[in-house]
Amino acid sequence: MSSFDVLVLGSGPGGYVTAIRASQLGFKTAIVEKESLGGVCLNWGCIPTKALLKSAQVFEYLQHAGDYGLSVEGADKDFGAVVKRSRSVADGMSKGVQFLMKKNKIEVLQGYGTLKPGKKVSVKDADGKETTYEASHIIIATGARSRELPSLPQDGKKIIGYREAMTLEKQPKKMIVVGSGAIGIEFAYFYNAMGTEVTVVEFLPNIVPVEDEEVSKQLERSFKKAGVKVMTSSEVTKVDTSGDGVKATVKTSKGEQTLEADIVLSAVGIKTNIENIGLEDVGIATDRDKIMVNDYYQTNIPGYYAIGDVTPGPALAHVASAEGILCVEKIAGMHVEPLDYGNIPGCTYCMPEVASVGMTEAQAREAGYDVKVGKFPFSASGKAKASGNPDGFVKVIFDAKYGEWLGCHMIGAGVTDMIAEAVVGRKLETTGHEILKAVHPHPTMSEAVMEAVADAYDEVIHL
């Protein structure tokens, strides 16, 4: 029986990063994967969706070339070619992970892994052959998949999840997107930009409901301006797929409505992949679809750990990677501190982009803070105006007493690349005055952060 120091179940951004860090620390490492290296993120999530979104953004630029004093005639899209480019990008990234596995001398065990008692994992390959491996430390990183609602049973054709949404052979004329988290909003933007008539249905009062309310309202305005129909405080109660298209019954505050479309995209969250992997056989504790772990990702059974979407933290690729690194560094005996889940950035890659970290204004006030709030619109930013992207703003929230940076919320072009300033600032316990006195380059989108801080302290110059 082959034996390893560390064996990782799942090769997504949690699993493969964990395996690499384990190898760097001198552990003999193996990773089990039933599909393609890179997991959902590289193959069906983060990366291929960004390729689709970039194509949509370029298409939008071509359509608005006149705004920049340029003339482009006959600009059109080839939907199949857009999808093909996205798949090509994903394939390239997966091959990159294969290279990293070889470079770090990590053994890749291709097949379906099942946990066994006594720190063992059984792997069944495509031919049905089972091989058992043992390891001193087994790390579960099996991720999650699209969640299905009883009222929205996915058939892969008329009611689809995110996998089908990025590989449709034909562009739909009309689409209903149920759910307005990052996945739903990104696909709503993509299909609308490509010319599909899109309706977003959200159960809660605001789209992107985890974001600061002002950000949600701004995104709704931007979406409606772009032609996306937004229905909040609404619920799809029934879907009829018997005809050529789809008829969705939507319950709203004003009564029931029937929407017709070619396709319904269900984007109502995720379901963890914890079934049929042997948790019950080993005795690993779960609660409400999550594996229970301590601050260092140890389960209740010694030698078994869990990271990423299968644990109670935020289901984000960068969180899974951070958890995996922390987990193996703790195994190696290094001094590590538990992850600060209050300082995790969240990003949505629609247009305008959305990025945030820390408390919303409402959360800060509910927590009892006396707050200073600053806001700077991109309409007052020279770089934003020059680039033709004046929509959106940066909003900052500080504790009035000590100057602690409680939260930062952005909506606008390129803000997903800007949010790291707030994450690092909060990690270093930076105060508002320190940000204000840190010279930001001009003209840039990023100086809007400094201007928003200046607004919080009544020192704003350009507003």
> Could you read off the pLDDT of 101-160 as tens digits, one per residue?
999 999 999 999 999 999 999 999 999 999 999 999 999 999 999 898 888 999 989 999
**Judgement on whether residues 323 and 217 belong to the same structural domain of the protein:** no
**Judgement on whether residues 139 and 7 belong to the same structural domain of the protein:** yes
In a domain, 461, yes or no: no
Instruction: Note the pLDDT tens digit of each residue in 280-289.
Output: 999 999 999 9
**Judgement on whether residues 54 and 134 belong to the same structural domain of the protein:** yes
Catalytic residue among 64, 335, 409, 442: 442
Nearest to 196 by CA among 62, 59, 66, 43: 59
- Is 11 annotated as contributing to ligand binding? no
The DSSP output letter for 106 is P
pLDDT for 99 beyond 90: yes
Tokens of 361: 């204004």
In a domain, 179, yes or no: yes
**Judgement on whether residues 187 and 210 belong to the same structural domain of the protein:** yes
Distances (CA, A) of 14 to 31, 115, 172, 297, 424: 11, 18, 34, 12, 21
- Is 262 annotated as contributing to ligand binding? no
Count of residues in the chain:
463
CATH code of 218's domain: 3.50.50.60
- What's residue 97's pLDDT? 92
Nearest to 309 by CA among 35, 46, 30: 46
Q: Domain range spanning residue 316?
A: 3-146+271-341
14: phi then psi, degrees, rounded to nearest 5: -80, -55
pLDDT for 43 beyond 90: no
- What's residue 151's pLDDT? 87
Task: Please report the DSSP string for 264-329 in residue order.
Answer: EEE-S-EEE--TTSSHHHHT--EETTEE---TT-B-SSTTEEE-GGGSSS---HHHHHHHHHHHHH
| The last residue of a domain, from among 314, 341, 368 | 341
**Judgement on whether residues 281 and 250 belong to the same structural domain of the protein:** no
- Is 186 annotated as contributing to ligand binding? yes
**Judgement on whether residues 28 and 112 belong to the same structural domain of the protein:** yes
- Is 136 annotated as contributing to ligand binding? no
Tokens of 125: 């390959």
- What's residue 353's pLDDT? 97
- Is 403 annotated as contributing to ligand binding? no
433 is catalytic: no
**Judgement on whether residues 137 and 275 belong to the same structural domain of the protein:** yes
Distance, CA of 432 to CA of 450 (rounded, Å): 9
| The last residue of a domain, from among 240, 268, 296 | 268
pLDDT for 1 beyond 80: no
CATH code of 422's domain: 3.30.390.30
- Is 202 annotated as contributing to ligand binding? yes
- What's residue 433's pLDDT? 92
Instruction: Please report, to the nearest 10 degrees, the dihedral formed by the alpha carbons of residues 270, 276, 280, 285 taken in order.
Output: -20
Tokens 């019954």 found at? 249
In a domain, 463, yes or no: no
pLDDT for 74 beyond 90: no
pLDDT for 36 beyond 90: no
- Give me the number of domains the chain comprises: 3
pLDDT for 174 beyond 90: yes
**Judgement on whether residues 259 and 385 belong to the same structural domain of the protein:** no
In a domain, 346, yes or no: no
Contact indicator for 310, 142 with CB cutoff of 8 Å = yes
Tokens of 418: 């800007």
- What's residue 223's pLDDT? 97
| The last residue of a domain, from among 268, 288, 320 | 268
- Is 180 annotated as contributing to ligand binding? yes
Measured N-to-C along each axis, helices 213-225 and 182-193 cross at an angle, to the nearest 10 degrees, of 20
- What's residue 42's pLDDT? 84
Residues 6+ apart with CB under 8 A from 171: 79, 191, 194, 195, 196
Instruction: Note the pLDDT tens digit of each residue in 348-377.
Output: 999 999 999 999 999 999 999 999 999 999
**Judgement on whether residues 111 and 167 belong to the same structural domain of the protein:** no
The whole-model pTM stands at 0.94
**Judgement on whether residues 22 and 109 belong to the same structural domain of the protein:** yes
